[in-house]
């Protein structure tokens, strides 16, 4: 017995690795991350269908539930959409809980995070968010039927004293913002470069981790191949891919 003990000690001292027995328990795999998708105003979960498929193919758990964007103000919509989606991630024993938002969806998330915490909160990618308010809302809010068509939340997206985005403060989490640069029929009402609805400058957010401008329009930016690729890259790495060889 002494000879065996000495032999094992010599092996360990020589830097040799002693393998565990074959029936030793394996190290448990890390649970997959979850991504919650939040669509924009007057849109549905189907608008993020391509993004959902790409995220699922990359191994994420995905929650893509809708919310009635035209039925209530931002505070009500945020509480209706986000906690239930987070609970679905937890029910699947997810790891981190990430978000990909489009337009108004990003403002709902910012509002929710200003009053509540999300357990296991991860990273966020915002697509075309009016983070500094929308000048387009300022110009169109007085048009007859505007509020009837878009709902009460739209009047909270301007740049006046009623602006919710301007009241929410800086981000204290990892967030990458993608905005398009593709003029539309209403671009004449907007200052500077824009995606047809949101200006490049109004998409910026204090505290943001990264910022990217693509050749894409506001309505379908979530279906842009490069926007999808960059979203996946940010969720994985915490930054956008700005190399010249992609």
Q: What is the pLDDT at residue 8?
A: 36
Question: Would 121 be classed as within a structural domain?
Answer: yes
**In the predicted structure, residue 11 carries a pLDDT above the cut 50:** no
Q: What is the pLDDT at residue 3?
A: 45
Residues 6+ apart with CB under 8 A from 45: 37, 39, 52, 64, 65, 66
Q: What is the pLDDT at residue 13?
A: 44
Mean pLDDT of the chain: 90
User: Hunting for tokens 């700005």 — which residue is that?
Assistant: 242
Question: Would 10 be classed as within a structural domain?
Answer: no
pTM of the model: 0.87
Q: What is the pLDDT at residue 41?
A: 97
Question: Would 157 be classed as within a structural domain?
Answer: yes
Question: Would 242 be classed as within a structural domain?
Answer: no
**In the predicted structure, residue 98 carries a pLDDT above the cut 90:** yes
Mean per-residue pLDDT for 25-29? 64
Work out how many domains the chain is built from and give that number: 1
Q: What is the pLDDT at residue 155?
A: 95
Q: What is the pLDDT at residue 103?
A: 98
**In the predicted structure, residue 29 carries a pLDDT above the cut 90:** no
Check the CA dihedral 137-179-48-105 and report its sign.
Answer: negative
Q: What whole-number distance in Å separates Cα of residue 51 and Cα of residue 56?
A: 9
> Which pair of structure tokens corresponds to residue 241?
């891919």
Q: Could you tell me which residue, 73 or 24, shows the higher pLDDT? A: 73
Q: What is the pLDDT at residue 136?
A: 93
Question: Would 1 be classed as within a structural domain?
Answer: no
Question: Would 14 be classed as within a structural domain?
Answer: no
Q: What is the pLDDT at residue 179?
A: 98
Range with lowest mean pLDDT among 6-10, 43-47, 65-69, 105-109: 6-10
Q: What is the pLDDT at residue 27?
A: 62
Task: Report the CATH number at residue 116.
Answer: 3.40.50.1820
Query: Length of the chain, please?
Result: 246
Beta strands in 78-226 (DSSP E): 97-102, 121-127, 175-180, 210-214
pLDDT tens for 155-210 read 999 999 999 999 999 999 999 999 999 888 888 888 889 999 999 999 999 999 99
Reported confidence tier of residue 28, pLDDT bands at 50, 70, 90: low
Identify the DSSP state of 215. S
Q: What whole-number distance in Å separates Cα of residue 223 and Cα of residue 218?
A: 10
Question: Would 9 be classed as within a structural domain?
Answer: no
Range with lowest mean pLDDT among 18-27, 130-139, 144-153, 209-218: 18-27
Question: Would 107 be classed as within a structural domain?
Answer: yes
Q: Could you tell me which residue, 236 or 30, shows the higher pLDDT? A: 236
Neighbours of 73 (CB within 10 A): 15
Q: What is the domain range of residue 186?
A: 31-237
């Amino acid at each position: 017995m002494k000879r065996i003990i000495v032999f094992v000690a010599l092996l360990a001292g020589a830097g040799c690795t002693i393998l565990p027995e074959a029936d030793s328990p394996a190290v448990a795999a890390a649970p997959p991350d979850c991504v919650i998708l939040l669509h924009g105003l007057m849109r549905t979960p189907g608008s993020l269908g391509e993004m959902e498929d790409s995220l699922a193919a990359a191994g994420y758990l995905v929650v893509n539930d809708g919310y009635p964007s035209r039925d209530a103000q931002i505070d009500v919509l945020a509480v209706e959409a986000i906690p239930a989606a987070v609970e679905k991630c937890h029910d699947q024993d997810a790891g981190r809980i990430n978000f990909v938002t489009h337009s108004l969806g990003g403002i709902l998330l910012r509002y929710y995070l200003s009053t509540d915490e999300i357990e296991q909160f991860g990273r966020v990618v915002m697509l075309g968010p009016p983070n500094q308010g929308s000048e387009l809302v300022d110009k169109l809010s007085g048009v007859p039927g505007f509020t009837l068509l878009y709902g009460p939340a739209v009047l909270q997206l301007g740049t006046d004293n009623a602006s919710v985005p301007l009241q929410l403060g800086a981000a204290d989490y990892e967030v990458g913002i993608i905005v398009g640069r593709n003029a539309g029929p209403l671009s004449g009402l907007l200052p500077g470069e824009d995606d047809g609805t949101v200006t490049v400058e109004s998409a910026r957010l204090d505290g943001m981790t990264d910022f990217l401008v693509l050749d894409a329009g506001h309505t379908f930016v979530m279906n842009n191949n490069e926007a999808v690729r960059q979203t996946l890259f940010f969720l994985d790495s915490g930054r956008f891919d700005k190399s010249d060889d992609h």
